Chains A and B, each alone.
Chain A
Amino acid sequence: MFQKKMKKCVALILGTMMAFSTLAGCGGNGGAATDNNAPAATGEVSERTEPLQVSMFLPSRLPDALYTKDTLTFKVLAEKMNMDFDIETVVNAEAKNKFSVIVASGKTNDVMAGTLGDINKFGMSGAFLPLDDLIDQYAPNLKQYVVDNKEVLAQTAASDGKIYGIPMLTAVRTAMGYCIRQDWLDDLGMEAPVTIDDWYKVLTAFKNTDLNGNGAGDITPLLLDRAWENYFNNFADAWGIELNGNNDYWMVKDGEVKFAPILPETKEYLETMAKWYREGLIDQEFITREDTNNYHILNNKAGATCYWTGYIAGMNSNSEVLALDPDTNWQVIAPPVLTEGQPQKTFSQQAAVGGSAWAISSKVPEDKAIEIIKMFDYVYSDEGSMLFNFGVEGESYQYVDGVPEYTDLVTKSEDGLVTWIRSNGMQPLIGIRQLPEYEAASCANDDVRKQLFDYVENDYFYDINPTLVLTEDEQDKYDTVMSAIKIYVDEELLKFIIGSRPIDDFDGFVARIQEMGIDEAIALENQAYARYTSLSK
């Protein structure tokens, strides 16, 4: 009796839902239906009398400039593709949450932009279309840049080997660089530090000399950023290891994946950091201080840091900084080493594939999916890339001696270049190709440009430690052992550095990690790494 009623209820609800969705379908897809039996030539926009309705979910870059269909780049794109966009958006900080809410509700937009990791995860559960065949048939640009570039493919594909999201490709490998107050080095008559011992001498001199006129001891010789970006172990570069909590501390060494915290190099590294911390060379509050770089640099209190190179270089022309010390001169220097003559390299770098991507909902019918993949392909084309990096020629940029440059409209805009670019829909967090020309053109001046490209030109990079993708089963096993180990390592690394756990206890630390089952996680990571290398061959 109850069951019968229940069935009736469900039927009624389903019926109503179907009625609504067909209604919606009639309104939107009228145009697309006419040409579904004659697919247009590859890469070209099919002829439609009416624009095709495409709904999208996109994260916006800025809270006070949320994207609409009238945002410059999306407006141009829609006209070009003869589409009509229906854009749903939230500011990027809230996007991850909103994304999973939309996927969970089942009412996905035709196009969904989010992190590549989420897209692959939900794609394998059936929320998004696998794009491999579509790319092969309809998208020459995507094929060239994603499928044929093995490095990109290996970083893009999900653990089942399929492509679900079209990723953002980064242009410049530079990420965080070692930056130092060159003017203070000059005041001290010291050379830029090369080895860890040099660094120790320089930082000690920063601490003991009154360089900023506020009395000796006012300067924080070295900033570490834990609270904001959680990259505070950069100096492990000198020992040839990467201790990156954001990647669960995995690294590739001698052809296999290793868990960096239990390597003997980690002990030496921690010993050095503990000494620096004890002697006041490192910010005593680095664990809790948020936005430490701005706080120290804007107050003329920072001697050295390892942070986004372009950002720190830009401080040389920051009016607040110059007001306190007009001679301020931040310069990026080569990564530290243990003994002179060793290759100077850092693990901090941008992967070829950025974290953002967009995907097509699995609910989209095939003919519409074809149109959308063509749209994705256009965004990857040279023309589309110029649109999403520079905007509209003659309006926001022009060529000067064959090099694109932003016009005064952008560079002299009230809120500055970056804000203008972001509020007009350039550099959106979707599957675009960032152009190196964009990075160069958006630098404030030649000095910033030189510093930003310094690590690239000198090739100061170790091979990247990839973020490996696990299958669902592997992930379950991994989570069971790793979540506890991750917490333990997060805690103990900090304790070693601040000295609340003596470094002599390092063997106990390693033993505890092994007890917690790290070997199982290492095996899983190596399986995933085997898949990764087979894709990238």
Chain B
Amino acid sequence: MNRKKTFATELKNNKYLYLMFLPVFIWYVLFCYVPMGGMVIAFQKFDIVKGVFHSKWLGLENFRALFKDPYFFRLFKNTLFINVFGLIFGFPLPIILAIAFNEIRLKRFKKITQTISYLPHFISSVVVMSMVIHFLSPDGGLVNGIRGLFGLESIYFLQIPKYFKTIFISTGIWQGTGFSAILYMAALAGIPKEQYEAATVDGAGKFKQMFYITLPNLAPTIVVMLLINLGSILNVGHERIILLYNPAIYETADVFNSYVYREGIMGFRYSYAQAVTLFQNLVGFFLVFGANKITRKLDGTTLW
């Protein structure tokens, strides 16, 4: 008997599974791999009339321009800071929230609070950001209204560079925590009840159970989520930024994606925009790759 299963026999044996997989496969090829060819414009002086095949080849010129850009360092710093602080403050919260939900015994209360916690995710960013602008307004805004009650002067938050990161990250946390917690809730549901029962018999309290059963069981999910987040360490969605920033606070608010939007898309510099994006993604790729290697060595949890 041939021990080495050929691809053909594998295909034959699991043909229905592969058939089900086919649409996804086609979707990926068509919409993710074929467009990747378009990345080539990062090395060209792309002209939309001449198209990808006839535009002038520039080699690394666009990348050279990017590294020489007087704003490169600022963009890099802002993007990195927003993401790193976003991770430090935003990453543990869904885990804590999920564990907290898990401990609630009152089913009805649990369901209601959970729903409330993930509702903000479904509000459009445009609405959330204009809410933020109104809350922070010095003229009748909620936050300055409260400051006024304590006799404090009102602050024009969106005009002072040092406040931007805090505003942006906390808005993101408010909007995303509940929804991200769903994933951990699912992982929690998969922990066998017997482990807890055994722990109770052994006399472990709630906190001991959390540290010795819940967290170790969640670890693989946490590691995978962290790895995925590392991939986008140089990405901050431009929509939320451009809804909130203004030139007076570019200093802390301008990130790669908003810069690409402004200079590349609005200014028709497609090749330059593509070079910036390619750079961001390469950094993300190597980070994920490296981190994946490290976690594999540490505890065997990996993305691939």
Contact = CB atoms under 8 A, between A and B. Distances in A.
B50 to A, nearest CB: 6
Given A285-B138, A484-B69, A491 B47 contact: no
A494 B248 contact: yes
Contacts of A476: 45
A521 B263 CA distance: 17
Interface residues of B, number: 29
B88 interface: no
Contacts of B246: 226-227, 287-288, 494
B248 A125 contact: no
Interface in A488-506: 488, 490-491, 493-495, 498, 500
Given A127-B49, A284-B138, A516-B70, A483 B247 contact: no
B203 interface: no
B18 interface: no
Given A227-B246, A484-B71, A491-B247, A285 B156 contact: yes
B300 to A, nearest CB: 41
Given A121-B268, A495-B248, A498-B159, A285 B139 contact: yes
B249 to A, nearest CB: 8
B241 to A, nearest CB: 14
Interface residues of A, number: 30
Nearest to A362: B49
A100 B51 CA distance: 12
Given A479-B267, A484-B69, A484-B70, A494 B247 contact: yes
Given A284-B138, A491-B251, A125 B133 contact: no
Contacts of B138: 284-285
A500 B250 CA distance: 13
Contacts of A284: 138-139, 156
B17 interface: no
Interface in A480-537: 480, 483-484, 487-488, 490-491, 493-495, 498, 500, 516
A126 B55 CA distance: 13
Interface string A159-197: 000000000000000000000000000000000000000
A191 to B, nearest CB: 30
Among A103, A227, A288, A487, the most chain B Cβ lie within 10 Å of the Cβ of: A288
A476 B160 CA distance: 34
A106 B267 CA distance: 21
Contact of A480 (B65, B133, B159, B268): B65
Interface string B259-272: 00001000111001
A491 B50 contact: no
B39 to A, nearest CB: 16
Contact of A125 (B50, B158, B254, B269): B50
B137 A285 contact: yes
B48 interface: yes
Interface in A107-129: 121-122, 125-127
Contact of B263 (A122, A285, A483, A491): A483
Interface string B32-60: 00000000000001011111000000000
Interface string B215-250: 000000000000000000000000000000011101
A263 interface: no
A284 B247 CA distance: 15
Contacts of A125: 47-50
Interface of A: 100, 103-104, 106, 121-122, 125-127, 226-227, 284-285, 287-288, 476, 479-480, 483-484, 487-488, 490-491, 493-495, 498, 500, 516
Which are the 8 A-B pairs with shortest beta-carbon distances? A125-B49, A490-B247, A104-B48, A494-B248, A127-B49, A491-B247, A484-B70, A287-B246
Interface of B: 45, 47-51, 65, 69-71, 133, 137-139, 156, 158-160, 246-248, 250-251, 254, 263, 267-269, 272
Given A125-B49, A479-B269, 4 more contacts: A100-B48, A287-B247, A288-B159, A490-B250
